[in-house]
């Protein structure tokens, strides 16, 4: 009686070969694109996750400082996500947060030194807030939620998306605070002098933290009125 040779001698495919032969997800796949776009609306760090609000209140009195802070956070978050993702399989679970803080700290120090070298006045205006990027809960949150469990490419995109999503809110808040609080944008006078001659006065309240909270609340209201799935009906 004959026996099927495939049953008698099964072919064993190595695990590594099986993984390599599996189709790889394209870099610009729909899933990866959502990592960049979702933080602008459905999963914005400030208006949806309610993270990083403190810096949104502190560094948005001027548009220039908000822009520099935004770029700094994007650079730190993208690089931190990429590095932690590359190291994720070698980081012991019990010290993972210490390693994450070390990576973020090193990146923040480099960003701070670059700012002091090329934009010293802005670095002085931002003062301790650049250093406080180390404790920014948005960055730690993305490292824990994404970089520790994902491949480098999606982790990098996630870092860029959340950094830009955070920065957009900072820029919007700073735009209105500087415009109505000082009559300037990026340090240039944009409110015509004739308005002041007619009795227009800059609104000093816009330079307070309360005004920043008010603007963020308006942004949240507009966002939820346009995207009803964000409305909590519980």
pLDDT score recorded for residue 49: 85
Please count the other Cβ atoms lying within 10 Å of the Cβ belonging to residue 22: 8
Query: Across the strands, what pairs with 185?
Result: 188
pLDDT score recorded for residue 72: 92
DSSP 8-state code for residue 14: P
Helices (H), the chain: 5-8, 15-21, 30-37, 53-58, 63-87, 96-118, 120-126, 128-131, 137-145, 152-182, 193-197, 209-226
pTM recorded for the entire structure: 0.82
pLDDT score recorded for residue 17: 44
Q: Which of 89, 80, 87 is nearest to 163 (CA)?
A: 80
- Structural domain boundaries of the chain? 44-228
Q: Any residues with CB less than 8 A from the CB of 191 and at least 6 apart, and which?
A: 179, 183, 184, 200, 202
Instruction: pLDDT tens for the chain, 234 residues: list them.
Output: 444 444 455 555 454 444 444 456 676 778 878 888 888 888 888 888 888 888 788 888 899 989 999 999 999 999 999 999 999 999 998 999 999 999 999 999 999 999 889 888 888 888 778 888 887 888 888 998 899 998 999 999 999 999 999 999 999 999 999 999 999 998 899 998 888 888 889 998 998 888 999 999 999 999 888 888 777 754
Angle at 53 between CA 49 and CA 57, to 5 degrees: 155
Please count the other Cβ atoms lying within 10 Å of the Cβ belonging to residue 72: 23
Task: Note the Cα 21 to chain centre separation in Å.
Answer: 34
Please count the other Cβ atoms lying within 10 Å of the Cβ belonging to residue 223: 17
Helix pair 63-87, 152-182: axis angle to 10 deg = 170
pLDDT score recorded for residue 9: 53
Residue corresponding to tokens 């934009």:
119
Residue corresponding to tokens 């009125």:
225
Can you tell me the distance from the alpha carbon of 97 to that of 143, in angstroms, rounded to the nearest whole number?
Answer: 9
Half-sphere exposure of 147 (CA within 13 A, CB side): 32
Helices (H) and strands (E) in the chain, counts: 12, 2
């Amino acid at each position: 009686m004959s026996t099927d040779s495939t049953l008698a001698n099964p072919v064993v495919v190595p695990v590594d070969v099986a993984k390599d032969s599996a189709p790889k997800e394209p870099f610009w796949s729909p899933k990866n694109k959502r990592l960049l776009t979702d933080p602008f609306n459905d999963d914005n760090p400030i208006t949806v996750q309610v993270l990083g609000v403190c810096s949104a209140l502190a560094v948005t009195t001027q548009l220039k400082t908000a822009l520099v802070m935004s770029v700094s956070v994007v650079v730190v978050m993208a690089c931190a996500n990429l590095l932690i993702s590359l190291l994720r399989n070698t980081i012991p679970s019990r010290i993972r947060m210490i390693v994450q803080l070390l990576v973020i700290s090193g990146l923040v120090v480099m960003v701070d030194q670059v700012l002091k070298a090329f934009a010293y006045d802005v670095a002085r205006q931002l003062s301790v807030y650049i250093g406080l990027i180390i404790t920014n809960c948005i960055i730690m949150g993305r490292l824990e939620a994404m970089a520790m469990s994902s491949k480098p490419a999606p982790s990098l995109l996630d870092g860029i998306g959340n950094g830009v999503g955070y920065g957009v809110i900072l820029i919007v808040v700073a735009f209105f605070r500087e415009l109505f609080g000082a009559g300037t944008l990026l340090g240039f006078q944009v409110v015509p002098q004739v308005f002041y001659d007619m009795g227009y006065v800059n609104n000093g309240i816009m330079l307070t933290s309360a005004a920043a909270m008010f603007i963020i609340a308006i942004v949240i209201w507009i966002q939820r009125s346009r995207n009803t799935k964000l409305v909590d009906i519980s």
